[in-house]
Each structure stands twice: as C-alpha cells, then as structure tokens.
Amino acid sequence: MILVKVGGGAGVNLEGIARDLAGLGEPAVVVQGANAARDVLAARLGTPKRTVISESGVESVFTDADALEILTMAYAGLVNKRFVALCQQRGVNAVGLTGLDGALIRGRRNRGIRVAENGRRRLLHDDSGKPVSVNVELFRLLLGAGYTPVVTVPILDEEGRAINTENDEVLALLQRDLGADVVVQLIEAPGLLGDPAKPESLLGALGRGDLEAMEPASSGRFRRKLMGLRKMLDSGCRRIVVGDGRLPNPLRSALSLEGTVIE
Amino acid sequence: MILVKVGGGAGVNLEGIARDLAGLGEPAVVVQGANAARDVLAARLGTPKRTVISESGVESVFTDADALEILTMAYAGLVNKRFVALCQQRGVNAVGLTGLDGALIRGRRNRGIRVAENGRRRLLHDDSGKPVSVNVELFRLLLGAGYTPVVTVPILDEEGRAINTENDEVLALLQRDLGADVVVQLIEAPGLLGDPAKPESLLGALGRGDLEAMEPASSGRFRRKLMGLRKMLDSGCRRIVVGDGRLPNPLRSALSLEGTVIE
C-alpha cells in the first residue's frame, strides 16, 4: 500500500495525480490538502486566514469557528469532491472522507496556544488539535473492496467535535497505523530545497541523520515537516519521496525518484 | 433498514435527529439536504440561486459551474460534516458521502431545459441530472460494519463528472434499490399540507389513490414530491411518514406517526 499526500497549492496537478493513481497497480490512500482553495474562499467571504505565533516561536493557523466552517467547505467540500470526481473519470474508485466520517481519525484538542501580546501572556483557544488514532478497520474495509480513500480535515476531538489539524501529522499517523512502506508527498516545488527561494537547491537524497541535523536550524512549518518525515522513517517507512506536484505526471515521476528521496 | 430524508431548511433540528438515530435500534441510511445553507453561502458569495421555468411550467434550480461549487461546499462540506459530527457525538457512527464517493449514485445528465425567453425557445444546459443507479455493495459494506451512511449531492454523470440532482429522486431510488420498507421525510412543516399557508391543514393520512388524485392540481416541487412518494409505494415501501423536522425529537415523533402517514 502506498500513501500519497496531495498538497493544497493552486499549482498542484490534480488531473495528473488522478491519472497516475489509475496506472498505479497497487492500493493507495490519499491525504489531500486545500490551502489555496481555503484562502480564496476565506478572502471571498471577507474572513482572511489568521495566524498566531506561539511564545516558542511556532506559527500556526488560528482556527476559530468561522475558519473551521470555511476549511470544511474548501477541504471536505470543494477540493475533496473535485479530486474524487477526477479519480472517478479515470476509473479510480475514490471515496472522499474526513476524519469525522466513521470516526476515521480521532485527535486531541489543543489545550490553547500560549502567546505574548503587548508584553502580556495569553492562552488562545481554537478548534485545532493533534491526530492520535486511526480507524484502521474502516481503511481495511474500503481498501479490501477496491476503493481508494481520499482523506482530509477536519478530524474528531475527544468529544466528537470537529477540529482542524496539520495534514503532515495525519500523514505520519496513517503511515504508522496502516504500515505504509512508501510515502509520496506532492508539493508546489521540485522537492525539499536547501534554500526555499532557489528551486535549483533541490536536496536530492536525504537520510535520517540529515533530517536530524537540519532540524535545529529550521523553524515553523518546515521544521514540523522535517520532524514528520523523521517520525515516518522511525515507524518503518522504507522510502519517502517529496516530489513536484506540478509535473504532468506528479506521482509517476516521484515514484521514479524525481524529487527528494528520503531513506 | 429505515431510510430518512433530513430536509435542508434552517429550522430542521439536526441535533434532535442525531439523538433519535442513536436510539433507533436498527440500521439507517440518511439523505441530507442543505438548501438553506446553500442559499446563505450563495448570497455571501454574491451569486444568488438562479431558477428557470421550463416550457412545461416546471421550476428548477439552474446549476451552472459556480452554483455546483457552492452546493458542493454547502451540502457535501458544511452541512454533511456538521451532521456527521452531531451523530458521532451521540454514538452514531455516521459516514458522510456524496454520490461521487465510491460511485455511490450514478445519474444521467439533463439534455437541457427547454425554456421560452421573450417569445423564443432556447435549450439551456446546466450541471444537473437524474439519479439512475446505486452502488448497493458499498451501502451493504458500510451498513454491515455498523456505519450509518449520510448521503448528499452531487452525484456522478455518465462521464464521472459531478451533477446536481433532486434529493427526493435520490430518496426514491435508494428506497427501491436498498429495499427500505419505512421512509421518513423530515421537513420544515408539520407534514404535507392541504394549503401550504395553513399549518392546520395537515393531511394526516394518505393512500396511493390520494396521491394520484392530488397530482393533476399540483405543480413544481410539490408535484415532483407527490410523484416521488407514489413511486416509493409502487416499489414496495410499506409506509412513508412526512414529519416535522423542527420538533425536539423529529425522527421519533415521525415513527410514532406524527405528521402525514402514507400507506
């Protein structure tokens, strides 16, 4: 079983990925993002995305009730169903699901983000959290019957309410609990870059030690990405390829080791 | 197995329906609407719902590409996931699905709506159609494992593209193909009314002959509703209750025969 994360950037070639899934010849689980669609919808609705920076310097999206509704419409509605239709057109029997559906992914609601505001400390509460457990039986039921699950946020908190979470953390949890030995991440870049501003700084091959060495100097989302990658190697993942989602055949190219190959 | 249609009116008590499903004691399939949420979203996005009246006098929602995106966000995103979370909170293991997911409901794209405009005839094309077939295996797979499918639009056309359709027609098709012997429709009224403006004109009990007698004098959505009800009786449905979705216990009340009982 192969696990594929489809980034939510506007340039990601969803048609190409659907076509590649049709030619894959093995079961797949897809984790799908939609950040570009979410940002467009939020701007149209006059409620732009809000981010906060914690005391420890980590930037996160702040998910209030409005933001949760908007992300549900963009991730679970618009983009999930657009991708499912593209898959169906190519003979891939995709089933779009959020973490809520069949309690597919349960998480732990964040206890608050500690921020410093005008020199004072405050604890901000939002509708977000960390994924903790997976309904492996539902994945097996669908995979066993030939379906391709396409998973996205929101997920369930401890009380059955919807919360936002990081797709990279969902990916790491699914890799571990479904035992995926190959993971592909398709993003809006040629792969992981030494310098985000320079596409030619592609890091072609990385080992576990490289990830660990890069972590201290990195920050924010990129740091969390590195930690997620390391976690998957530690959970038995044989190979992760971070590939270019904008190519004509994004998944096929990544499986041919174009991009950053992490082993 | 019981089949429940949850109307998409703003006053429908989704919490109460989720609670009633938890106490039901038998498998259920839910067909969920979201017209109020769709209308609010469309207005916020500055693209209000457009309706057209065909030459034969039938009014329909006109689903252009924008309208299809908006309904997907409202039906498959916002309301479907809101209802699934309410179910999960009460121990009902709901799985929200559109007709696209797992090719659950396939339809036939409308060949065009013939309208008269300023005395000239035109054929208007939109993204809508009629549901034709059901992936019964996927329903059985989920019901057999204890899940409660919560189904909504869009559905798949002949080429795997998303189209809008009438939930009443989805309901009639599911009743036939899943062999439901009891169907409950929960709406924003005490039941079917003799005079839509008078809640006290509730029609308490109707037979097949009554439906047939009422059809010629009725029009538009109500006429289609009557035809859908008759179709279900003809397909082996033992009882349909059209009940008040605004009550504290909408489903339990309907199953206690509050509303319009059609047998």
Interface of A with B (CB under 8 A): 41, 44-45, 69, 72-78, 80-82, 84-85, 88-90, 93-98, 100-103, 137-138, 141-142, 145, 147, 154, 156, 159-162
Beta carbons of A78 and B89 less than 8 Å apart: no
Tens digit of pLDDT at every position of chain B (263 positions): 999 999 999 999 999 999 999 999 999 999 999 999 999 999 999 998 888 888 887 777 899 999 999 999 999 999 999 999 999 999 999 999 999 999 999 999 999 888 887 888 889 999 999 999 999 999 999 999 999 999 999 999 999 999 999 999 999 999 999 999 999 999 999 999 988 889 899 999 999 999 999 989 887 778 888 989 999 999 999 999 999 999 999 999 999 999 999 99
- pLDDT tens-digit map of B37-74: 999 999 999 998 888 888 887 777 899 999 999 999 99
Place of tokens 């549901």: B131
Cross-chain CB nearest to B154 (options A81, A101, A102): A81
Cβ-based neighbour number of residue B228 at 10 Å: 23
Nearest to B109 by CA among B175, B156, B68, B154: B156
Structure tokens at A52: 């906060």
Beta carbons of B102 and A147 less than 8 Å apart: yes
Query: How many angstroms separate the Cα of B6 from the Cα of each of B93, B162, B251?
Result: 17, 22, 9
pTM for the full predicted model: 0.96
Beta carbons of A74 and B73 less than 8 Å apart: yes
What is the rounded distance in angstroms from the CA atom of residue A7 to the CA atom of residue A32? 6
Q: Which residues contact A111 (CB under 8 A, 6 or more apart)?
A: none
Cross-chain CB nearest to A98 (options B44, B81, B142): B81
What is the rounded distance in angstroms from the CA atom of residue B28 to the CA atom of residue B182? 10
Q: What is the Cα A249 distance to its own chain's centre?
A: 19
Question: In chain A, which residues have their Cβ closer than 8 Å to the Cβ of B45?
Answer: 44-45
In order along chain A (263 residues), what is the average pLDDT of each group of 10 residues? 97 98 97 97 91 82 94 98 98 98 97 85 93 98 98 98 95 97 97 89 95 88 88 96 98 98 97
